[in-house]
Chains A and B, each alone.
Chain A
Amino acid sequence: MNHWIIVPIVLPALTAAFLVLALRHDLLRQRLVSIASTVALLAVAIGLVVLADDGTTRPYAVGDWPAPFGIILVLDRLSAMMLALTAALGLVVSIYASGGWDTRGRHFHALFQFQLMGIGGAFLTGDVFNLFVFFEVMLIASYGLMLHGGGGRRLRAGFQYVAINLIGSTLFLFAVGLIYAVTGTLNMADLAVKVAQVGEGDAALLSAGIFMLLLVFALKAALVPLHWWLPTAYGAASPPVAALFAIMTKVGAYAIIRVHYMMFGDAAAAAAPWIVGAALVSMAIGALGALATRRLGDLAAFAVVWSMGSLLVAIGMFDPGAMAAALYYAAHSTVAGAALFLIADAIAQRRAGHGDALVLASPPTQSTPLSAAFFLAAIAMCGLPPLSGFVGKLLILDATRGPLAVWIWGFILATSLVTIIAFARAGSLLFWKSEAVAVAGAAGNASSPTPIPALRRTALPLLALLLLPAALSGFAGPAARYFDAAAAQIADVQGYVDAVLGAGDKAR
């Protein structure tokens, strides 16, 4: 057993506890420890990606209990890649938050580390009930982060966010109970074996459980019609938190891949048309929402809904080729979404009195680097060449086969156009039309000097977030090779089952 596999769960947990117990009044050291720990997490995650790239599925029996009985963690290409993505995003967000957002409330960094622990656990676990527990760890930390900064609007939005997720958790438990009652196991590899043996009389109960589980994951992934919480919550959360939440929607998508595509296999095939249909509507609603919104933060939130639609179209095809495209797009859309939230915040801080509202006002200070960053992030998000959104969308379109292909092509291309219009309009309003206002204003009265927040502290994380889509696009060949291999590994369910259940025999 390779003990590095459990590090992405243990390291943030220990760091969080240390931050709460030892450094609760020392913000500077909190920042240092938190960033150092996230750097270490990123290093471990990259090491795990390299380790997993040999194509072996590595189970880790916690407490050395053999597979169907004990708690098990599983490392394969898919989970290693999601861990690396989480750690990279976490590092950028923790550096950005150290620029000032973590002074708004207490325990930002501790909650942040707990959140990383929950996300890492959800990606690693090989047990459905354990997935529920890590979902809860992740959500509990996210409740704290969501409320970070306080204020009436955030509290009201926070109540909705907590209530909808509690209902989701209840539904998760109902589904898990049903599946346990039918199959007698909750270990994912064991489930993959037992689901095929479920008798005729229990088939209806099993598919009820499968669909309820799909509802839970779709709620997390913000799939229409379960997406309404997302713009409210992300719009009200502080921007670094919203940027981190960009990975949380991917946890829902990951769970659909892991549980529905891998574990339930044929039993979940009936769910596929529902996923694709809902994803197409998500794209339409996300794009229209982006067009209708009047704040930059909400624009980013609806763009996330739209990109989740594109992602789930590819996942819902339940096909290895489309899965490789989906994985590429998942990596891209996480980074692009997070970049948009951070840039929206950077712009809001530099527009005195107007924040991120999309109204005509004098341009933000330091508008040249900001506008460049905004347009780069918008290009990445909308899927224009040369950044990774274009490659991702191309891969999804290329992988589309079958009778639904016409609809999928139509929806992806049409909603992309609408999103481009929404971003172009927001950008020209913020940066170009506002020049005229500034000239008129300067002629009317003497310009009053306003304090300019330093760009230095936010520039580094923003630059990193913008370089990632460029890197994904520049190194699309090696990346696509890795994602193809990951998709092939996902499709090889028998290999997964043998690796996990066989390991128990070897350990005895």
Chain B
Amino acid sequence: MEFLVATAIGALTATGIYLTLRGQTFPVIVGLAFLTYAVNLFLFVTGRLAIDKPPIISPDAAAYTDPLPQALVLTAIVISFGMTALIVVLALRAFLETGDDTVAAPSLVEAPPEGESPGAERP
């Protein structure tokens, strides 16, 4: 059981790291998703692996499993799910506006001067 969980976390992390180092936005996003799966699984087992034990107080339970990691995992899942949705939309917008889905930084040197003047647009 320990071996299975540990290798699963390791494989997920390795895949995640490999994919986040790619140059296109889509593999990076999938890689981030893999990393968050890995960390969710990891958080879950920080309370030690236990089978058939309740995480809440029950009159006929002899032993308990740690409930706190489960609460942490729920928080982590919610945040990472929302963030994945955001970065997908962001990548799509960037692709539609620039016609390019590489992750490389927009060059700082060649950036056109921003001809933006908020004063002019004010109603």
Query: How far is B103's CA from A160's CA once the two chains are assembled, in angstroms?
Result: 7
Contact across chains for B113 and A354 when beta carbons are under 8 A apart: yes
Instruction: Say yes or no: is B114 at the interface (Cβ < 8 Å to chain A).
Output: yes
A-B contact count (CB 8 A): 142
Given contacts A167-B20, A167-B32, A348-B114, contact A162 B86 (CB under 8 A): yes
Query: How far is B93's CA from A156's CA once the two chains are assembled, in angstroms?
Result: 9
Q: For A173, give its contact among B39, B83, B111, B114 (CB under 8 Å).
A: B39
Contact across chains for A170 and B68 when beta carbons are under 8 A apart: no
Please count how many residues in chain A sit with their CB below 8 Å of the partner chain's CB atoms: 53
Contact across chains for B69 and A180 when beta carbons are under 8 A apart: yes
Instruction: Say yes or no: is A4 at the interface (Cβ < 8 Å to chain B).
Output: no
Contact across chains for B118 and A104 when beta carbons are under 8 A apart: yes
Query: How far is B48's CA from A180's CA once the two chains are assembled, in angstroms?
Result: 11
Question: Secondary structure of the A side of the interface?
Answer: helix
Contact across chains for B43 and A173 when beta carbons are under 8 A apart: yes
Contact across chains for A355 and B115 when beta carbons are under 8 A apart: yes
Query: How far is B84's CA from A297's CA once the two chains are assembled, in angstroms?
Result: 30
Instruction: Say yes or no: is A153 at the interface (Cβ < 8 Å to chain B).
Output: yes
Q: Which residues of A (102-153) have their CB < 8 Å from a CB of B?
A: 103-104, 129, 133, 136, 140, 143, 147, 149-153
Q: Which residues of A (207-257) have their CB < 8 Å from a CB of B?
A: 231-232, 235-236
Contact across chains for B90 and A147 when beta carbons are under 8 A apart: yes
Given contacts A163-B87, A355-B113, A355-B114, contact A153 B39 (CB under 8 A): no
Contact across chains for A166 and B46 when beta carbons are under 8 A apart: no
Contact across chains for A294 and B90 when beta carbons are under 8 A apart: no
Query: How far is B69's CA from A293's CA once the two chains are assembled, in angstroms?
Result: 46
CB distance from A213 to the nearest CB of B (A): 14
Instruction: Say yes or no: is B6 at the interface (Cβ < 8 Å to chain A).
Output: no
Binary interface encoding of chain B residues 95-123 relative to chain A, with 1 for a CB under 8 A from any of its CBs, else 0: 00110000101101101011111111111
Query: How far is B57's CA from A138's CA once the two chains are assembled, in angstroms?
Result: 35
CB distance from A114 to the nearest CB of B (A): 13
Instruction: Say yes or no: is A157 at the interface (Cβ < 8 Å to chain B).
Output: yes
Q: Which B residues lie within 8 Å of A169 (CB)?
A: 79-80, 83
Q: Which A residues lie within 8 Å of B98 (CB)?
A: 152, 155-156
Closest residue of chain A to B104 (Cβ to Cβ) is A156
Please count how many residues in chain B sit with their CB below 8 Å of the partner chain's CB atoms: 47
Contact across chains for B94 and A295 when beta carbons are under 8 A apart: no
Q: Which A residues lie within 8 Å of B109 (CB)?
A: 294
Closest residue of chain B to A181 (Cβ to Cβ) is B46
Q: Which B residues lie within 8 Å of A411 (CB)?
A: none
Contact across chains for A156 and B106 when beta carbons are under 8 A apart: yes
Q: Which B residues lie within 8 Å of A150 (CB)?
A: 97
Q: For A356, give its contact among B36, B69, B114 (CB under 8 Å).
A: B114
Contact across chains for B118 and A103 when beta carbons are under 8 A apart: yes
Query: How far is B116's CA from A357's CA once the two chains are assembled, in angstroms?
Result: 13
Given contacts A159-B94, A293-B108, contact A140 B115 (CB under 8 A): no
Binary interface encoding of chain B residues 21-36 relative to chain A, with 1 for a CB under 8 A from any of its CBs, else 0: 0000100100010011
Q: Max chain B CB contacts within 10 Å: which of A153, A178, A231, A451?
A: A153
Q: Which residues of A (161-214) have their CB < 8 Å from a CB of B?
A: 162-163, 166-167, 169-170, 173-174, 176-178, 180-181
Q: For B105, give its contact among A152, A160, A293 (CB under 8 Å).
A: A160
CB distance from A477 to the nearest CB of B (A): 40
CB distance from A369 to the nearest CB of B (A): 16
Binary interface encoding of chain A residues 274-305 relative to chain B, with 1 for a CB under 8 A from any of its CBs, else 0: 00000000000000000001110010000000
CB distance from B115 to the nearest CB of A (A): 6
CB distance from B60 to the nearest CB of A (A): 24
Contact across chains for A159 and B113 when beta carbons are under 8 A apart: no
Contact across chains for B122 and A103 when beta carbons are under 8 A apart: yes
Q: For B111, give its contact among A158, A159, A295 (CB under 8 Å).
A: A295
Given contacts A129-B72, A353-B115, contact A232 B87 (CB under 8 A): no
Query: How far is B121's CA from A349's CA once the two chains are assembled, in angstroms?
Result: 12
Contact across chains for A235 and B35 when beta carbons are under 8 A apart: no
Q: For B87, give its contact among A166, A176, A348 (CB under 8 Å).
A: A166
Q: Which B residues lie within 8 Å of A353 (CB)?
A: 113, 115
Q: Which B residues lie within 8 Å of A231 (CB)?
A: 108
Contact across chains for B36 and A170 when beta carbons are under 8 A apart: yes
Contact across chains for A174 and B94 when beta carbons are under 8 A apart: no
Query: How far is B115's CA from A293's CA once the two chains are assembled, in angstroms?
Result: 19
Given A162-B87, A348-B114, A348-B116, 7 more pairs with CB closer than 8 A: A99-B118, A100-B119, A103-B121, A153-B106, A162-B83, A162-B90, A295-B108
Interface residues of chain B, those whose CB is within 8 Å of chain A, are: 20, 25, 28, 32, 35-36, 38-39, 42-43, 46-48, 68-69, 72, 75-76, 79-80, 82-83, 86-87, 90-91, 93-94, 97-98, 103, 105-106, 108-109, 111, 113-123
Interface residues of chain A, those whose CB is within 8 Å of chain B, are: 99-101, 103-104, 129, 133, 136, 140, 143, 147, 149-153, 155-160, 162-163, 166-167, 169-170, 173-174, 176-178, 180-181, 231-232, 235-236, 293-295, 298, 348-349, 353-357, 451, 453-454
Task: List 12 A–B pairs whose Cβ atoms lie within 8 Å, in order of A's numbering.
Answer: A129-B75, A159-B103, A162-B83, A162-B86, A170-B39, A173-B39, A176-B72, A177-B72, A232-B105, A349-B117, A356-B114, A451-B120
